[in-house]
């Protein structure tokens, strides 16, 4: 409230600030130097049912097998559209497929499809099973598909919702009007924690509400940690320029109507891209190198929080690195696995990370 008043007093000019990465979030190179286990195109959606780990790569669902100290991936299913989320429960696995809805496999009846009504079907961004068997699903947006997240961001989208689907397929809306929920940890229909990307915060369903606010990057999926805390992956950085463009309605509308989405000003999963990529002043290559602190459209960031929700450690890949676009993280046995979707790589964090 005080902030709102001071912002109104100071005028529009003051709102554009991105919290600096400091303290626990001080940048390092731990993600860039992490062990690279596998290369799979668009690798994403890590999940485990306790015994096996799963990930997706485009339309294919993979099971990860340990091979000594490393991992191998074997295909476990292929679908009609890109896999947008995976959730596992005892003996069950649920997969969100863009354009189709949720498919649940519980071993006995094969893959059973739960149709989601049309506006909800293309953007199931994250899902988690409750102990009582209900599936809680995050739908990022009703207007844009999951792969169109950038358009949703630039439209200031807030049509996301959180649904619960029970075994019979009945859908109940738990939350609505969210700004792209992209990660969830559910203990029950009234006890869950979710990340809201365009509002860069973590919220829980009970208690005071906001767990972590004003993150310096857009949060993606969450994962449980053995010590009761949680793992948070952040898939793209916030920048002053992006925040500014979100407020410049004239420029933004014209950009969105005349320029292809891949060339828009805004965050990306990686910094490759075509010739028409917008460049920021600090990202100019000087004397042959790009500085690590240069403004970059993509970034790699994983954060570990303790049970009370405070960050205690972070892993980064900076502007001069390539392991960007972290969309999911998973604790699997002794290992912490991370998918860098922007680099198509599955990473394992150094073992001394967990402590």
Partner 1 sequence: MNDTLTRLRYRMFSDRMVGELLSKSWIDSAIPAFFLLIVVLAASLLTTDFWATGNLGDLGRQVAEFGLQGIGLTIVILSGGIDLSIGSAFALTVLVCLVSMNVLGLPVGVALLATLATGFACGLLNGILIGYLRLRAFITTLVTLVIYRAIYDILFPRLASAIVGNTPDSAIWDFVGFGTVLGIPVSFVIFALLAFLLHIGLSRLRPGWRLRAVGGARRSAHNAGINVKRTVCSAYVASGLLTAIAAFLFSARLGSTGADTGIGLEISVLTAVVLGGVSLGGGRGAVGNAIIGAVLVLILTNSLIRLALPGSVNQLLLGVVLILAVLFDAKWVKNRGKILNKLYVSPAYLSLAPRREANPDPYVLNDRLGATELIGLGEVEGPEDVILDEDDNLYTGTRHGTIERFWAPDYVRRETFAAVGGHPLGLNFDRDGNLLTCVGGMGVYKVAPDGTVAKVTDETNRSLLSIIDDSRLRLPDDLDVAPDGRIFFSEATIRYDMSEWATDALEGRGNGRLICHDPRSGTTRTVLRGLIFPNGITVCRDGQSLLFAETWACRINRYWFDGPKKGHREIFMDNLPGYPDNINRGSDGTFWVALLGMRTKTFDLAMRKPGFRRRMARQIASDEWLFPNINRGCVVHVSAEGAVLEVFWDRGGANHPSITSTCEHKGYLYMGGVSNNRVGRVKLEGADPTWTARSDYWEGR
- Taking the complex as a whole, the smallest distance from the CB of residue 16 to partner 1 amounts, in Å, to 5
Q: How far apart are CA 98 and CA 80, in angstroms?
A: 8
- Taking the complex as a whole, the smallest distance from the CB of residue 261 to partner 1 amounts, in Å, to 11
Evaluate whether 234 touches 326 at the Cβ level (below 8 Å).
Answer: yes
Using the CB atoms, write b or e for 253-291: b if 16+ within 10 Å: eebeeeeeeeebbbbbbbbeeeeeeeeeeebeeeeeebe
Q: Is 134 helix (H, G, I), strand (E, B) or coil?
A: coil
Quick one: 48 or 271, whose CB is closer to partner 1? 271
Quick one: 161 or 270, whose CB is closer to partner 1? 270
- Figure out which of the listed residues 2, 5, 13, 109 binds partner 1, where binding follows CB under 8 A: 13
- Figure out which of the listed residues 147, 277, 306, 322 binds partner 1, where binding follows CB under 8 A: 277
- Which 280-339 positions form the footprint of partner 1 (CB under 8 A)? 280-288, 294-295
Three-point CA angle 97, 98, 102, nearest 5°: 35
Dihedral pair phi/psi, residue 122, rounded to 5°? -95, -5
- Taking the complex as a whole, the smallest distance from the CB of residue 346 to partner 1 amounts, in Å, to 26
- Taking the complex as a whole, the smallest distance from the CB of residue 174 to partner 1 amounts, in Å, to 37
| Number of residues counted as binding partner 1 (CB under 8 A) | 32
- Taking the complex as a whole, the smallest distance from the CB of residue 32 to partner 1 amounts, in Å, to 18
Three-point CA angle 344, 345, 351, nearest 5°: 160
Q: How far apart are CA 337 and CA 179, in angstroms?
A: 27
Q: How far apart are CA 114 and CA 104, in angstroms?
A: 8
Sign of CA dihedral 198, 349, 338, 57: positive
- Taking the complex as a whole, the smallest distance from the CB of residue 255 to partner 1 amounts, in Å, to 6
- Length of the chain (residues): 355
- Taking the complex as a whole, the smallest distance from the CB of residue 320 to partner 1 amounts, in Å, to 13
Using the CB atoms, write b or e for 126-142: b if 16+ within 10 Å: bbbbbeeebbbbbbbbb
Q: Please report whether residue 9 would count as binding partner 1 according to CB under 8 A.
A: no
Quick one: 258 or 308, whose CB is closer to partner 1? 258
- Six-digit token pair at 90? 């005892």
Three-point CA angle 130, 304, 339, nearest 5°: 75
- Which 204-263 positions form the footprint of partner 1 (CB under 8 A)? 239-241, 244, 248, 250-251, 254-255, 258-259, 263
- Which 187-206 positions form the footprint of partner 1 (CB under 8 A)? none
Letters for 15-54 (x = contact with partner 1 by CB under 8 A, - = none) are -x--------------------------------------
- Figure out which of the listed residues 24, 213, 279, 312 binds partner 1, where binding follows CB under 8 A: 279
- Taking the complex as a whole, the smallest distance from the CB of residue 27 to partner 1 amounts, in Å, to 15
Q: How many CB atoms lie within 10 A of CB 73?
A: 19
Evaluate whether 238 touches 295 at the Cβ level (below 8 Å).
Answer: no
Q: How many CB atoms lie within 10 A of CB 293?
A: 12
Binding site for partner 1 (CB under 8 A): 13, 16, 239-241, 244, 248, 250-251, 254-255, 258-259, 263-265, 275-288, 294-295
């Amino acid at each position: 409230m005080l902030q709102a008043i001071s912002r109104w007093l100071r005028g529009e000019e003051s709102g554009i600030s991105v919290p600096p990465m400091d303290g626990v979030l001080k940048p390092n190179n731990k993600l860039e130097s992490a062990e690279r286990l596998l290369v799979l195109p668009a690798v994403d959606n890590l999940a485990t049912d306790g015994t096996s780990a799963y990930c997706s790569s485009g339309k294919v669902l993979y099971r990860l097998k340990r091979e000594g100290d490393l991992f191998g991936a074997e295909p476990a299913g292929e679908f009609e559209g890109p896999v947008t989320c995976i959730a596992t429960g005892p003996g069950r696995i649920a997969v969100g497929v863009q354009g189709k809805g949720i498919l649940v496999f519980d071993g006995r009846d094969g893959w059973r499809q739960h149709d989601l009504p049309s506006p909800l079907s293309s953007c199931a961004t994250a899902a988690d099973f409750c102990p009582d068997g209900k599936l809680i699903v995050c739908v990022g947006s009703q207007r844009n598909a999951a792969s169109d997240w950038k358009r949703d961001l630039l439209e200031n989208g807030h049509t996301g919702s959180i649904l619960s689907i029970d075994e019979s397929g009945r859908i109940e809306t738990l939350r609505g009007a969210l700004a792209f929920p992209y990660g969830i940890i559910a203990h029950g229909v009234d006890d869950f924690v979710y990340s809201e990307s365009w509002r860069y915060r973590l919220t829980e369903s009970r208690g005071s509400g906001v767990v972590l606010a004003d993150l310096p990057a857009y949060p993606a999926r969450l994962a449980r940690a053995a010590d009761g805390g949680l793992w948070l992956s952040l898939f793209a950085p916030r920048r002053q320029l992006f925040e500014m463009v979100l407020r410049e309605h004239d420029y933004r509308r014209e950009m969105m109507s005349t320029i292809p989405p891949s060339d828009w000003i805004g965050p990306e999963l990686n910094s490759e891209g075509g010739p028409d990529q917008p460049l920021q002043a600090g990202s100019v290559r000087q004397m042959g190198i790009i500085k690590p602190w240069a403004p970059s459209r993509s970034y790699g960031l994983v954060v570990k929080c303790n049970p009370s929700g405070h960050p205690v450690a972070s892993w980064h890949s900076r502007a001069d690195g390539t392991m960007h676009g972290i969309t999911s993280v998973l604790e699997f046995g002794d290992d912490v696995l991370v998918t860098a979707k922007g680099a198509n790589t599955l990473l394992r964090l150094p073992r001394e990370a967990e402590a």
